[in-house]
């Protein structure tokens, strides 16, 4: 089953260029941070791939970009409080850019999750789809919080 981005969100393909640009900016900002580990760098690369897929009009870019962006933010936002250490201004600017570019991702997740579940499970009841959307929202919240605990 191939699903175009316009089928998932109801918006035409051309509307995803702005989201793709913000996702690419977030991936680039994550790579600028000096404390970026191998895991965070891989997350930034996956985020860039998802952004490029969205730019090409593929809906799977959403399913790649949303969790990778939130996991990156969860891993790197605690470093914003360490901005007074060496590399302070660049670190603070890159972390702030990464966090700010996550806002459209969160907004799109709220809109896209119910549509994605509806596309994947067309015969499910409303209650089942709502439970799956709720579980996915909890998983995204965990992706934002759990990486910052280490």
Residues 96-101: contacts with CB under 8 Å, at least 24 apart:
97/25, 97/26, 97/29, 98/26, 98/29, 98/30, 98/33, 98/72, 98/73, 99/73, 101/22, 101/23, 101/25, 101/26, 101/29, 101/69
CB-CB neighbours of 93 under 10 Å: 15
C-alpha to C-alpha distances, 66 to 2, 38, 49, 73, 111, nearest whole angstrom = 19, 19, 12, 11, 12
Distance CA 91, CA 104 (A): 22
Closest CA to 96 of 76, 112, 121, 70: 76
Domain positions in the chain are 5-149
Q: What is the pLDDT along the chain (150 residues), one digit of tens a residue?
A: 455 545 554 544 455 788 888 888 888 888 877 666 777 788 888 999 998 998 888 878 888 888 888 888 887 777 666 655 556 677 777 777 888 888 888 888 888 889 888 988 999 999 999 999 999 889 888 887 887 776
Encoding tokens for residue 53? 């897929």
The whole-model pTM stands at 0.71
């Amino acid at each position: 089953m191939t699903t175009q981005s316009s089928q998932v969100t109801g918006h035409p393909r051309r509307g995803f260029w702005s989201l793709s640009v913000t996702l690419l900016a977030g991936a680039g900002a994550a790579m600028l941070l000096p404390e970026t580990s191998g895991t965070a760098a891989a997350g930034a690369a996956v985020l860039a791939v998802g952004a490029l897929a969205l730019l090409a009009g593929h809906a799977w870019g959403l399913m790649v970009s949303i969790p990778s962006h939130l996991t990156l933010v969860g891993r790197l936002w605690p470093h914003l409080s360490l901005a007074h250490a060496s590399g302070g201004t660049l670190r603070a600017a890159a972390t702030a850019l990464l966090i700010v570019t996550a806002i459209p991702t969160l907004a799109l997740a709220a809109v896209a999750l119910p549509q994605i579940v509806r596309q994947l499970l067309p015969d499910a009841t409303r209650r089942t789809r709502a439970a799956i959307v709720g579980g996915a929202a909890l998983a995204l919240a965990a992706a934002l919080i759990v990486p910052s605990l280490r």
